[in-house]
Amino acid sequence: MHESCGVFGVYAPGEDVARLTFFALFALQHRGQESAGIATTDGKKLQVHAKMGLVSQVFDEDSLSHLTGNIAIGHNRYSTRGSSRVTNVQPIVVGEGKAAIAISHNGNIINAEHLYKELSDQGYTFHTSTDTEVIANLILSSPEKDWVSKIRYAMHRLQGAYSLTIMTNHNLLGVRDPLGIRPLCLGAINGGWVIASESCALDHIGAKFVREIEPGEIVSVTGNGVDSYQGEGSKRALCIFEYIYFARPDSVINGRLLYSARQAMGAGLAEEHPVDADFVMGVPDSATAAGIGYAHKSGIPVGEGLLKNRYVGRTFIEPDQRIRDLGVKLKFNPLPQMLEGKRLVVVDDSIVRGTTTPKVIGLLRRAGVKEVHMRVCAPPIRYPCFFGVDMATRRELIAAQKSVAEVRDYIGADSLGYLSVDGLIKAVALPKDIFCLACFTGDYPIPVQLEMDKLALETTPFEEYSPFGIKRR
C-alpha cells in the first residue's frame, strides 16, 4: 500500500531555501520515492529542478546552487493518478509571468476528469496527466483577483483530498482540503515560515512546529508574515492510515506522537486477541512500535525475527529474474537462531491484497517457527480508497472476499486477529468523528458512487490460491 506524496514549502529571506527544502524532502522520503523536485523564486521568475528518483539521486550541489531565491516548495512523488513518468514529476509550474504558480500536491482529486474536460474546452492546455495540473489550471481560470480568492474559487470546485504547497513570485501558500484528509502543518524558522506534510520534516531542518493547518484553511505567507483564511465546513476526515502506517513514527499529528499511537495499537491487539506464545515481533519497520506495544501488554518477550533491507526497491536498477524470484527474501532476512521452535506473535500494520503476508509467514516457517499468530493493526480493509492511497480495487482486497478464518488459512497463519475499529480509535486517542475510516466501513466522507461503478467494471477476478501454497498447520 502506498501513499501519494510529501509536500513542503519555505518562505525565508536570507536562508538557502533550496537546501532547506532538500533536507525536508529527505525527511519526507517515505511518502514517495518515484520522483523529487524543488522550485524556487527570486521574486522575478520561478525555477524548477525535478526528476525521477530519490531525493539524493535527483539533487547535487550543482543543481541546488542554481535554485536561488527567498521562497521554495518541494515534492516527493508516489503516483496514484497520472502515470509514473518524467513529465509528471512535481512541483509543476503553470501560467506565465506574474500569473505563474508552482504547485506541489499530496492527495487525489475525485472529479479531476470532469474538471480536465471542462478546462480543456475553455482552451487550457495540459502537459502532464496529473490531477495537480488540473488544480493549478483551475486556480488560474478563476475570475478573482488575488491568489487567496482564486484558490478559494478552485476549492469550491475540487472534490477529494489535497494538501498543497503553492508558490507565486511573492507568496508561499499552504492549502488543505475541507475534510483535512491529508496532513499539513506550519512551522517557523529563523524569522521565516515553513509548511510540511509532517512535523518530522520541521525537526530535520531545525524549524519549530507552530500548528496544524486546519481542514479547509488557506495559509498565505508574505513579507508581512502569515495570514490565515479558515474554511467553512465542520466535517473532518483525516486518513486514519497516517496513524497506522504512512506518517513517520517520530511525527506528531493532532498532538499525538505516531510512535505512541502505534504502541497503543499493539497493546489493543494484545487485549482483543491474546494468545499463548514465546516471542513477539513487529514486521519491520512500520509495525515495530506495535510489536513492542503487544509485548508490553501481554508480558511476552519482544525481539527481532526479521531484518529488513531498508534500501530495497529504492533503486532504478531492475533486478534480473533470478533476483526477482527471491521475492520477499530481497526485503527481509529471517534470524533462524531467534525463531527456531518458537510460538511467534507477528504484528503487522495491515493486510491489503494478502500477497506479502503469506510470503513473510513462509519465510518464518522455513526459519523453524513452530506457530505463527498474526495480529494486524488495521481492521479488515473491505473498501477501496479514492483519496490518494494506492490500495487495490474491491475485488483485490482479501478481506472483502474472505472471512477472517479464510484469510487466516490463505496467509498460512495459526491464528489471525485484526484490531477493531473502536480499538484503533482508542489507540489513536482522538475523537472518532475527525477520521476517515471508509476503507473499513464503506462510509465515505463524500459521495464516490460514480468512481465505485467505474472500478467495478475494471477489476479482475481475485485469485484463489496462496502464492506459496502454504497450508495452515
The residue ranges that bind ligand SF4 (CB under 6 A) are: 181, 239-241, 385, 387, 389, 436-439
Q: Please provide residue 302's backbone torsions phi and psi, each rounded to the nearest 5 degrees.
A: -115, 150
Give the nearest distance from C-beta 309 to ligand SF4 in angstroms: 26
Cell numbers describing residue 449: 458512487
Give the nearest distance from C-beta 437 to ligand SF4 in angstroms: 6
Give the nearest distance from C-beta 452 to ligand SF4 in angstroms: 12
| Residue with Cβ nearer ligand SF4 (329 or 395) | 395
Strand partners, 283: none
| Residue with Cβ nearer ligand SF4 (217 or 242) | 242
Cβ neighbour number for residue 74 with a 10 Å cutoff: 35
Distance between CA atoms of residues 153 and 167, nearest Å: 17
Active site residue 5: yes
Cell numbers describing residue 119: 478546462
Residue 158 CB-density burial (10 A; 0-12 exposed, 13-18 middle, 19+ buried): buried
Dihedral angle sign, alpha carbons of residues 388, 390, 394, 399: negative
Give the nearest distance from C-beta 439 to ligand SF4 in angstroms: 3
Give the nearest distance from C-beta 30 to ligand SF4 in angstroms: 16
| Residue with Cβ nearer ligand SF4 (17 or 399) | 399
Distance between CA atoms of residues 293 and 118, nearest Å: 51
| Residue with Cβ nearer ligand SF4 (240 or 306) | 240
CB neighbours of 464 closer than 8 A, spacing ≥ 6? none
| Residue with Cβ nearer ligand SF4 (278 or 451) | 451
Distance between CA atoms of residues 36 and 53, nearest Å: 7
- What does the DSSP assignment read for 307-354? EE-TTTT--SSPP-HHHHHTGGGGTEEE-HHHHTT-EEEEEES--SSS
The residues that are catalytic are: 5
